[in-house]
């Protein structure tokens, strides 16, 4: 059953959404909760036992009004930061809406963070309150990283007998207050979220997301994900990170379409059971989830109701769709975006934007974003087929909202070119003659070998299709003759043992499947790839490791 928005011209829809969320009277709590019918299902929170707790919009409004009143009594005002260090739960959703009801700003903390990463974000955001789960309390206790005189108040969802002396109990705060607190109306420029980049290429940077960014988030929900009023949506990404928060939570709240939250970590059998039992029709997850399902010794249920499957966070390698069509019944659509923007380029599910999938392509720009590939050495569009810098033309992108990193003018300046005309994503790619965009690498991942510019993703895409490869990453190492050469780090399937024959076979696989000059000169077999907590491969860790090994080898071989 298509919604009315699916028959509407996408560019008209962008203008409508931009106007709604930029309004000077915009209220986050109203737009995300109160305007939806009270009896409508907002979320189905699925526990570790795979049983569900339902949360309606009426329930969410009442509970968040109570908690917002309690937060106000603790001195939280519009613009103040409130952090969450919680798993996916009803309490988590209530906390978010209470923060936004006050006009305060949410600071997401990933539950896999160690105390040092938590302290950096709490101090950097000047958070007044942090809401945590029972199993996260210990990370907030005074330690070498957490000061004993920390300025933030801790609220915990733990049972009464496990609440630390200095913490407040979530349930008691909720019970002590009455509903009815009015929702703040601060306008589209007011801050909504204070999030930090994942730090794959340096120290995490603060990004303040305004209410008006919700226009782009809802546009992606409708265009990229293709959400319809009859969908059951499940975004498996963790809301401690941008994609999981922007589109696993806010996409649902902006559209009012019921969604799932699954507590606990990834498990292939549980994933299939949730898809089947709760009749999920629209799924979004990181490529790692799909690759793990493909590699798991568990068969997909024979009957699934999936209508759409989407992937984001890292480029989707071709072997996933070779498997997905047979196992899930639908291909997986690759999508591309950033913490600083939301989603920019997609293989859209919306019927007016849907195109045939191309292996290795992240799709076409989403309406509301003017995305170009700029030449490497000049701020001018590159011709089709030429690798360059992926950029957004800001004046022609009504969904753009990022203006710079908080308190970091130097890093902010690096993100813009042409006197502010271009927002530089920091990614390298190319556009083909059909208008499809192709990811090549991060700026600092690109490999230049004997004059050739090689994006590691192209090589990884070929390697990943080899039957013995579970995961892989490609980096450059210095070479006296070629400047740089490629090396590959490969995680083999569990039933395969490393051998010289496999190395030679993988090298030949790349020569035949990609290019003779771009094969990896060395292949290293490892147990797992280094990744950020959100699942992104950290190639810089591999590069650093190899540089240290090569430096040690050179030192040992130099004559004394």
Q: In whole angstroms, give the CA distance from residue 7 to residue 5.
A: 5
pLDDT at 1: 40
pLDDT at 527: 94
Tokens of 501: 């024959």
* Chain region(s) in the chain for CATH 3.30.300.30: 445-557
Q: Which of 531, 393, 420, 509 is nearest to 462 (CA)?
A: 509
pLDDT at 395: 97
According to DSSP, residue 155 is labeled E
Q: Could you read off the pLDDT tens digit of each residue along the chain, which spans 560 residues?
A: 445 467 789 999 999 999 999 999 999 999 999 999 999 999 999 999 999 999 999 999 999 999 999 999 999 999 999 999 999 999 999 999 999 999 999 999 988 787 888 898 999 999 999 999 999 999 999 998 899 999 999 999 999 999 999 999 999 999 999 999 999 999 999 999 999 986 544 567 899 999 999 999 999 999 999 999 999 999 999 898 899 999 999 999 999 999 999 998 889 999 999 999 999 999 999 887 898 899 888 999 988 999 999 999 877 878 888 899 999 999 999 999 999 999 999 999 999 999 999 988 999 999 999 999 999 888 999 999 999 999 999 999 999 999 999 999 999 999 999 999 999 998 889 999 999 999 877 666 656 565 455 667 768 888 998 999 999 999 988 776 666 789 999 999 999 999 999 999 999 998 887 777 788 999 999 999 998 776 778 888 898 888 888 888 766 655 55
pLDDT at 201: 46
Q: Taking each helix axis as running N to C, give the angle between helix 268-277 and helix 287-295, from 0 to 180 degrees, rounded to the nearest 10.
A: 100
pLDDT at 200: 44
Q: CATH class for domain 57-186?
A: alpha beta
pLDDT at 450: 53
How far from 55 is each of 93, 295, 453, CA to CA, in Å?
9, 34, 51
* Phi-psi category of residue 161: left, alpha or beta, with phi > 0 → left and psi -120 to 50 → alpha: alpha
According to DSSP, residue 201 is labeled T
Q: CATH class for domain 445-557?
A: alpha beta
pLDDT at 489: 97
According to DSSP, residue 395 is labeled G
* Chain region(s) in the chain for CATH 3.40.50.980: 57-186
Q: In whole angstroms, give the CA distance from residue 288 to residue 234.
A: 16
Q: Sign of the CA dihedral 505, 506, 511, 517? A: negative
User: CA torsion 450→454→460→462, rounded to 10°?
Assistant: -80
Tokens of 298: 């568990």
């Amino acid at each position: 059953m298509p919604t009315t928005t699916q028959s509407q011209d996408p560019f008209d829809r962008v203008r409508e959404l931009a106007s709604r969320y930029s309004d000077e009277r915009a209220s986050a709590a109203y737009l995300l909760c109160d305007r939806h019918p009270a009896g409508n299902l907002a979320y189905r929170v699925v526990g570790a036992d795979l049983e569900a707790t339902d949360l309606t919009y009426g329930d969410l409004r009442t509970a968040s009004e109570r908690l917002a009143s309690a937060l106000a009594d603790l001195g939280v005002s519009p613009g103040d930061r409130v952090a969450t260090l919680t798993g996916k739960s009803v309490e988590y959703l209530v906390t978010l809406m209470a923060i936004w009801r006050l006009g305060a700003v949410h600071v997401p903390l990933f539950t896999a963070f160690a105390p040092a990463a938590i302290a950096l974000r709490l101090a950097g955001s000047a958070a007044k309150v942090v809401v945590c789960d029972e199993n996260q309390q210990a990370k907030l206790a005074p330690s070498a990283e957490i000061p004993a005189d920390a300025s933030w108040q801790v609220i915990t969802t733990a049972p009464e007998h496990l609440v630390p002396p200095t913490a407040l109990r979530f349930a008691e705060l909720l019970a002590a207050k009455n509903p009815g607190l009015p929702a703040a109306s601060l306008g589209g420029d007011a801050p909504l979220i204070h999030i930090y980049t994942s730090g794959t290429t340096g120290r995490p940077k603060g990004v303040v997301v305004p209410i008006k960014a919700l226009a782009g988030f809802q546009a992606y929900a409708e265009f990229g994900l293709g959400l319809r009023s009859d969908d059951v949506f499940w975004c498996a990404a963790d809301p401690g990170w941008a994609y999981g928060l922007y589109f696993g939570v806010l996409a649902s709240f902006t559209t009012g379409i019921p969604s799932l939250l699954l507590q606990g970590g990834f498990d292939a059998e549980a994933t299939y059971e949730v898809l089947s039992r709760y009749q999920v029709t629209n799924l979004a997850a990181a490529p790692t989830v799909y690759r793990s399902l493909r590699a798991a010794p568990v068969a997909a249920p024979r009957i699934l109701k999936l209508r759409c499957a989407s992937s984001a966070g890292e480029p989707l390698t071709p072997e996933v769709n070779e498997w997905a069509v047979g196992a899930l019944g639908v291909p997986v659509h690759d999508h591309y975006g950033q913490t600083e923007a939301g989603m920019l380029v997609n293989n859209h599910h919306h019927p007016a934007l849907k195109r045939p999938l191309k292996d290795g392509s992240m799709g076409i720009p989403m309406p509301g974003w003017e995305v170009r590939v700029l030449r490497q050495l000049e701020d001018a569009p590159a011709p089709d087929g030429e690798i360059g810098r992926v950029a957004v033309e800001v004046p022609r992108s009504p969904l753009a909202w990022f203006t710079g990193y908080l308190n970091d003018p130097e890093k902010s300046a690096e993100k813009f070119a042409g006197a502010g005309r271009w927002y530089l994503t920091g990614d390298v790619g190319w556009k083909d003659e059909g208008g499809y965009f192709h990811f090549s690498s991060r700026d600092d991942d690109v490999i230049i070998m004997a004059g050739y510019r090689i994006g590691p993703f192209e090589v990884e895409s070929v390697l990943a299709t080899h039957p013995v490869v579970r995961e892989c990453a490609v980096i450059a190492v210095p070479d006296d003759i070629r400047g740089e050469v490629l090396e590959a780090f490969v995680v083999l399937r569990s039933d395969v043992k490393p051998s010289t024959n496999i190395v030679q076979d993988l090298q030949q696989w790349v020569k035949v499947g990609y290019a003779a000059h771009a094969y990896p000169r060395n292949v290293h077999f490892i147990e797992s790839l280094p990744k950020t907590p959100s699942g992104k491969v950290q190639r810089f860790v591999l590069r650093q490791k190899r540089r240290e090994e090569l430096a040690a080898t050179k030192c040992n071989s130099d004559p004394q």
